[in-house]
Chain A
Amino acid sequence: MNPFSSGTRLRDMIRAIRACKTAAEERAVVRKECAAIRAAINENDQDYRHRNLAKLMFIHMLGYPTHFGQMECLKLIASPGFPEKRIGYLGLMLLLDERQEVLMLVTNSLKQDLNHTNQYIVGLALCALGNICSAEMARDLAPEVERLLQFRDPNIRKKAALCSIRIIKKVPDLAENFINPATALLREKHHGVLITGVQLCTDLCKISTEALEHIRKKCTDGLVRTLKDLANSPYSPEYDIAGITDPFLHIRLLKLLRVLGEGDADASDSMNDILAQVATKTESNKVAGNAILYECVQTIMSIEDNGGLRVLAINILGRFLSNRDNNIRYVALNMLMKAVSADAQAVQRHRATILECVKDSDASIRKRALELVYVLVNETNVKPLAKELIDYLEVSDLDFRGDLTAKICSIVAKFSPEKIWYIDQMLKVLSEAGNFVKDEVWYALIVVISNASELHGYTVRALYRAFQTSAEQESLVRVTVWCIGEYGDMLVNNVGMLDIEDPITVTESDAVDIIEIAIKRHASDLTTKAMALVALLKLSSRFPSCSERIREIIVQFKGSFVLELQQRAIEFNSIIAKHQNIRSTLVERMPVLDEATFIGRRAGSLPGAASTATIPSVSLPNGVAKPVAPLVDLLDLSSDDAPAPSSSGGGDLLQDLLGVDLTPASQQSGAGQASKSGNDVLLDLLSIGSPSVPSSSSAVDILSSNSSNKAPVSPLDDLSSLSLSSKTTSNAAPMMDLLDGLASSPPTENNGPVYPSITAFESSSLRLTFNFSKQPGNPQTAVIQATFMNLSSNTYTDFVFQAAVPKFLQLHLDPASSNTLPAAGNGSITQNLKITNSQHGKKSLVMRIRIAYKINGKDTLEEGQVNNFPRDL
């Protein structure tokens, strides 16, 4: 006998563990016990095996590892006595899960016990099998279980029925073997057998259409009768719960009837009466009765339509909804959600009550109610519903606000009857919960504002007021900053007053104050500050009197550690200080943002699908599109090749708005139409002399015709060479050097441009150099002389050079000087190319090349992309 394990009984061990004051003490006790149990296991102690296993189960529940006891379960199950088997099976279910290999070892014991003469041992085996059997065990033991469905004792039949459910779920192929014995169980009187038989049939119907057809045909009427008898049965103390006989059986019968009635008018018809009876006669003052009603409503809503019954069902839900018990209200909301598709009208009648549930103190109920309100909103009720929700936003829990805000924004955007209402509601949401609003939402708001020209003044004034009270809401701040930048003059002059507005007095300096607050707010992030800088630049032109003050604010950011802000500050400062003559045209109002494009882009900008790009991507045949800086300099100084986090569609719009590459381009693949017009907006912002264009989709034509008919607009040229010429014109502030570093070519004289040669392509076998020249008076066209050098020791024959360019460029290739390239630099091939850039001054040249030749008759192909053209070429 083991000296350790004999000492403590299970009860003593539990007592010792409970007496522990600290976790460390508990661990020590458990460690000691486990050591003793291991010792007993090693000695193959038989007398205390089941006590030890019981101890291990307790230790397991405390969360300690007990895997070393798994084999003990199997030994106990294999022993002949009932007490050992009982604790062995319990341990098996608790300590093992069905994925463990050990389980396979128990199949044989299970088979023996299923055939045992003692029915309680059969019961133990069925219980274990039902709770943990795997697919393999199901296959092996299905015949035993099938046979036990006809066992003399009903308590074995009911266990076998539930065991069969597990088996057919694990191995659906076996389902048809169970159809006949299962339907036989439906005729039983014993409640245990009946309820398990009903459940088995329900699952059979779900698994096999054959079973469904069979049971529907043979058993529907019998089941209806059974339910009727049950509902009308006299008081029976054994099954009574709150005055109802066996509510569990009620519910299972209703579930099975639902499965049989779904999609079958005849079956549905035959159960109408009993459903009506259950729906009207069931007591609804206790959980059990309500559970039956709830199940009955579900069945009524699922089976084939019978108008009268549905009304009854919805009325029950209405009653539930006004119940004071939270549980009942919860299930009502849950069920109404399903009822919406069947009868939206009827559910709408309960709108007011549902709305109240959104404000419940219980998070589970709020969540359900909000989902339900969301599906109930339509054009006719959006105004009152949105008002209720927005009013509630003020007092809602912080952890609920995110969900609520998202739903409100979605509702308002989807069903808004008019723009002014949309803008009003969004301003309320931004003021209350601007920090919870997602980026796409405020982008969309700006797009709408931009399109509502008659509301520009109204909106900017409303934002000005909102800012006074809610300056802590980041997205409100951003929208305000943007609108004041664009429409600041309307704010100051009360332009476009609507009848509903009270005039306000705002001076130019007040407007600048707002931006200054925004930019100096501690909480403002890079986006907000960058937007504020753009707004300041715009205001410097709109409010000449404040120009000097604005410059002072901007100058403070010259030393910003954030490169983006520093660059803006420096650029904007020079625009204000040195380019007053062009400033006003430069910072004209943004042209109307294209709503259709935005919506389309948003639809296509699901995470991961980054097919939208603001920077024009150059799409080249069989090549990877690479981003190209659209505006060589001015606002877009960020490096175009920098690796960066992926930007979503929303971010792209932001780039449009700011005219800057905040999130440097990455992963743009294929420039779609969307990205193209996005870029046009950007071009519009900076294009000089283009009047405010009604729709940006036509902007591109105007622009391109402008530039192809006339010489490029000179101010832009000046601007675009700003950073380049700054060295010669300004007194060389050290910061300027930094900017110059970004330009790929050194500053050049304006008269008689000379461009350095570049190595356009180089591999181990080949080098390609480009020399540039321009014809006087035709700055759009560059003539390139391409020179190919062979770096290998083989002669190349059949040499062919091909090039491709994006649409804004036109390429003309002259014939090559030869098609044979001698080895080791003993000669070269030259070929002239002419490129005309319709976006000269705005977009750089880019080219994709392919060079094919033969070495000793063997084909070789080299490909590459050229994007190191001089920037102002």
Chain B
Amino acid sequence: NNNSFWLQIHFVLLISRQGKVRLTKWYSPYSQKERSKVIRELSGVIISRAPKLCNFVEWRGFKVVYKRYASLYFCICNDQEDNELETLAIIHHYVETLDRYFGSVCELDLIFNFHKAYFILDEILLAGAMQETSKRTTLRLIGAQEDLVEAAKEEASSLSNIIAQATK
């Protein structure tokens, strides 16, 4: 029953100042149609807000906490009851982790390596809840998985070398 379904975080959005979507992560069930509607509505509201206003927008009975870093808006949609200040801290925590991973991250990093932005987010949040509070642990886990990918590549290329040699 989706009506009684509550989560701490309903979704995470990264939107550029031009309204381009850079990342969307949905923890509550939204159909693809609803997703694009939500993005359209919210980006309109958030991008048009003047600087220096508070970072919270009340929207459809939810609270959207957003913060702008350079050209990107990081938005998290929460339940009414949640701690907005903590959500701001979560956003900052994610941004700092990205920053450490990419080394002073910029929007282009997140465009060309969007999948990595997702992988990192998946190590910090899961099921709309906080999973890991240590940036070091998060990055260590990401690193270990990248090693696995590299190992698989090497194996594949060495395998094809062996095959190539064998068929010479």
A residues adjacent to B (C-beta < 8 A): 11, 14, 18, 54, 57-58, 61-63, 81-83, 86-87, 90, 93-94, 97-99, 118, 120, 123, 126-127, 130-131, 155, 158-159, 162-163, 165-166, 169-170, 191-192, 195-196, 199, 238-239, 241, 246-249, 251-252, 287-288, 290-291, 294-295, 298, 326-331, 334, 361-365, 367
Distance A238 CA – B96 CA, assembled complex (angstroms) = 13
* Contact indicator A238/B136 (Cβ below 8 Å): yes
Closest 10 CB pairs of A and B: A291-B85, A326-B54, A130-B127, A362-B53, A162-B126, A291-B86, A166-B127, A330-B54, A83-B149, A162-B127
* Contact indicator A120/B145 (Cβ below 8 Å): yes
Q: Could you give 19 example pairs across A and B, Cβ below 8 Å?
A: A61-B21, A61-B22, A62-B20, A82-B152, A90-B118, A98-B29, A155-B141, A158-B132, A162-B127, A163-B126, A169-B5, A192-B134, A195-B130, A241-B93, A251-B83, A251-B86, A328-B85, A330-B54, A367-B58
Distance A158 CA – B129 CA, assembled complex (angstroms) = 11
- CB contacts (< 8 Å) of A83 on chain B: these are 148-149, 152-153
* Contact indicator B6/A169 (Cβ below 8 Å): yes
Please count the residue pairs between chain A and chain B whose beta carbons lie under 8 angstroms apart in the complex.
169
The number of chain B residues with a CB under 8 A from chain A is: 61
* Contact indicator A287/B85 (Cβ below 8 Å): yes
B131 at the binding interface (Cβ < 8 Å): yes
Distance A838 CA – B104 CA, assembled complex (angstroms) = 91
Of the listed residues B32, B93, B144, the one surrounded by the most CB atoms of chain A closer than 10 A to its CB is: B32
Distance from A343 Cβ to chain B, minimum over Cβ atoms (Å): 20
CB contact between B115 and one of A87, A329, A331, A367 (< 8 Å): that residue? A87
- CB contacts (< 8 Å) of B54 on chain A: these are 326-327, 329-330, 362, 364-365
- CB contacts (< 8 Å) of A367 on chain B: these are 58
* Contact indicator B92/A287 (Cβ below 8 Å): yes
New contact pairs (10) apart from A295-B83, A327-B85, CB-CB < 8 Å = A11-B112, A54-B115, A81-B152, A83-B148, A90-B118, A93-B25, A131-B126, A155-B137, A162-B126, A330-B84
* Contact indicator A86/B145 (Cβ below 8 Å): yes
Distance A309 CA – B114 CA, assembled complex (angstroms) = 47
* Contact indicator B29/A14 (Cβ below 8 Å): no
Task: List residues 72-114 of chain B with CB under 8 A from any CB of chain A.
Answer: 83-86, 88-90, 92-93, 111-112, 114
- Annotate B144-165 by CB proximity to A: 1 below 8 A, 0 otherwise: 1100110011000000000000
* Contact indicator B86/A192 (Cβ below 8 Å): no
B31 at the binding interface (Cβ < 8 Å): yes
Q: Knowing A90-B119, A191-B134, A239-B134, say if A290 contacts B85 (CB, 8 Å).
A: yes
* Contact indicator A61/B114 (Cβ below 8 Å): yes
* Contact indicator B89/A248 (Cβ below 8 Å): yes
* Contact indicator A162/B131 (Cβ below 8 Å): yes
Residue of B nearest to A207 (CB): B4
Distance from A515 Cβ to chain B, minimum over Cβ atoms (Å): 45
Distance A399 CA – B130 CA, assembled complex (angstroms) = 37
- CB contacts (< 8 Å) of A18 on chain B: these are 111
Distance from A826 Cβ to chain B, minimum over Cβ atoms (Å): 68
Residue of B nearest to A17 (CB): B111
Distance A364 CA – B130 CA, assembled complex (angstroms) = 26
* Contact indicator A196/B131 (Cβ below 8 Å): yes
Distance A126 CA – B149 CA, assembled complex (angstroms) = 19
* Contact indicator B127/A165 (Cβ below 8 Å): yes
